[in-house]
Amino acid sequence: MVDLKQTLSRFLAIPGVRLAVLVGRDGLMIEGLARDGKENLEAVGAIMTTGISTAEALGQEIARGSVVGALMEYERGLVSVDPLGDFALMVTLSDNASSISRVRHMVKASRNDILEALDIA
Amino acid sequence: MALINIATHEIHCKIVYYGIGYCGKTTNLQYVFRSINPNVRGEMLSIATETERTLFFDFLPLDLGSVHGFRTRFHLYTVPGQILYERTRLAVLNGADGIVFVVDSQSEKFEENIQSITELELNLHRIGKDLANFPLVMQWNKRDMPSALPVHVLERYLNRRRVPSFEAVASSGKGVFATLRAISKCVMAQL
Amino acid sequence: MEQLTNLIISDRELAIIMTALNKLMHDTSATSVMLIDKSGQVIATQGSGARRNVTSLGALLAGAFSSSRHIAELLGEKDFRTIFQQGVNENIYTTLVEEQWLLVIVFDKLTHIGLVKILSKKSSDELGRILERVRADTTRRKSSVLNVEFRSSVEDTIDLLFRD
């Protein structure tokens, strides 16, 4: 049985990544890790789910398919959202853009592990 | 619903005491709890209001021990009697294997009793039970009260199905165990 | 839907149930997992839920669940098939299995509700299949257990223990 916490800690091992949250499409957090424990992981997951719903709606409106990734640039950080099929989202917060490609790569690499952990065929 | 667990050698049955507010359902269970061999009973659970009126249900688990290698358990429940708890009664009835209909024999309660038994029949129908075969026992309680109606009157209007009936004064224990014996045997016979 | 008057669970099926509960408990890191009949009878438990008060827990959880479904009806909602009770240290997630059983997962802060929801769905489907088999099995098995000697002995025991 794959340990989700361990999978998420691999994201945190990427320099610059502050938190990683795996959240279901219904907004309920499946697992989450933060580097300094101050962040409200559940809120991040819940808010992001709503954000992605809006992005999906736009995608439908402009007939460009589903969301395959999203990036939000803030004054002091960067949030990357990577959908895992229909059931979950991986949300990461990084200090800046330099870690993004490694984050995306890690999402691809961890995808099967996560699917297995969630018992989804 | 009676549960027969061959692996653990257990048989579980649910018996519900039904009737109007203050007719003596909780009193029946309390008497059983006090008087029965402590090895046979578990803890009694009562979800009640601050004034000790049943809010949700009373629950008393009884364990007959091993019979031919099978441990037989009866779980006794009461429903809250007041009119506003109609839906709650339906919730507690879920999975019942037998019912004791407790009647407050006093004449001023007659109309309420009629309404209550009508409601019971409707509820049994709603949960898909075949009334003709369903284990049911009547208890004519509060026989000691001055305005208690004669038993033959109660029989005529409330016991249309002619199921076994017992006179009782639950507060003193009279008739409590006779009723319990009858409903238990009735439930077992139906399994 | 037709309701049988009783269900018979064999050794084999119980073992399968226990395995399923154990796996769910392990995968979610839950404190305990219980399978109860919707009438309140406890069928199986795993974990520190082998507590003294498991009988009362079964009765109360079933009562709460049954109550919730009636609330749904009153609200014009089709059904509430799960309940989530959030505590200070522990939480309880209850879900209906095939209109007959309740799967109850007790978990603490180390586990998140999202995970419990997803994994219990799969267990619930598996338990549903077990229930189908139990139902099919019941008609066959009944007479082997509830024979005349048994019934007679139970009546004697009733007379003995429920005496005035």
Expressed as residue numbers, the domain containing B8 is: 3-190
Domain around C133? 11-161
Mean pLDDT by 10 residues, chain C (164 residues): 59 92 93 90 82 82 88 89 93 93 92 92 93 79 72 89 89
Compute the half-sphere exposure of residue C160: CA atoms within 13 Å on the CB side of its CA. 11
Which of the residues C79, C145, C162, C164 would you substitute to probe the B interface, choosing the one with the greatest number of B C-beta atoms within 10 Å? C162
Distance CA C93, CA C104 (A): 6
Q: Which of C113, C114, C119 sits opposite A119 (nearest CB)?
A: C119
Alpha carbon B57 to its chain centroid, in Å, reads 12
What CATH number did the domain enclosing A29 receive?
Answer: 3.30.450.30
**B118's tokens:** 């009508």
C68 is a domain residue? yes
CATH classification at residue C153: 3.30.450.30
Q: Residue C1: what pLDDT? A: 30
Ranking A14-28, B29-43, C117-131, C150-164 by mean pLDDT, the lowest is C150-164
The structure tokens listed for B122 are: 């409707």
Q: What is the pLDDT of residues A77-120, one digit of tens each?
A: 999 999 988 889 999 999 988 888 999 999 999 988 898 888 76
> Total structural domains in chain C?
1
Give residue A87's domain range. Answer: 4-117
Q: Does a structural domain hold residue C34?
A: yes
Judge whether C118 is closer than 8 Å to chain A, CB to CB. yes
CB atoms within 10 A of CB B22: 16
Q: Which residues in C73-138 belong to E strands, given as ranges?
A: 82-86, 90-97, 101-108
Name the pTM for this structure: 0.81
How many Å lie between the alpha carbon of C115 and the closest alpha carbon of chain B?
Answer: 30
- For B54-86, give one letter per residue: b (16+ CB within 10 A) or e: bebbbbbbbbbeebbebebbbbbbbbbbeeebe
For the segment B37-60, the average pLDDT, to the nearest whole number, is 88
CA C48 to chain CA centroid, Å, is: 16
Could you say which of C26, C114, C122 has the minimum Cβ distance to residue A30? C114
Question: Which residues on chain C are in Cβ contact (under 8 Å) with A42?
Answer: 112
Tell me whether residues C114 and A120 touch, CB distance under 8 A.
Answer: no
Measured CA to CA in angstroms, residue B105 lies from A27, B19, B118, B135, B178 at distances of 57, 12, 17, 22, 17
Tell how far CA C68 is from the center of its chain: 16
Interchain contact, A1 vs C26, CB within 8 Å: yes
Number of structural domains in chain A: 1
- Within-domain flag for C5: no
Tens of pLDDT, residues B92-141: 888 899 999 999 999 999 999 999 999 999 999 988 887 778 999 999 99
Which amino acid belongs to residue C5?
Answer: T
Q: How would you list the strands of the sheet with A29-34, edge to edge?
A: A29-34, A17-24, A88-94, A77-84, A70-74
Q: Is residue C4 assigned to a domain? A: no
Look at residue B83 and give its three-state secondary structure: helix
Interface test with A, best of C25, C110, C118 (most A CBs within 10 A): C118
Residue C50: its pLDDT value, please? 54
Residue of chain C with shortest Cα separation from B56 = C63
Give mean pLDDT, residues B48-77. 88
Separation between Cα atoms, residue B183 and residue B181, nearest integer Å: 6
ipTM of the complex model: 0.83
Using alpha carbons only, how large is chain A's radius of gyration in Å? 14
Residue B110: give its domain's CATH number.
3.40.50.300
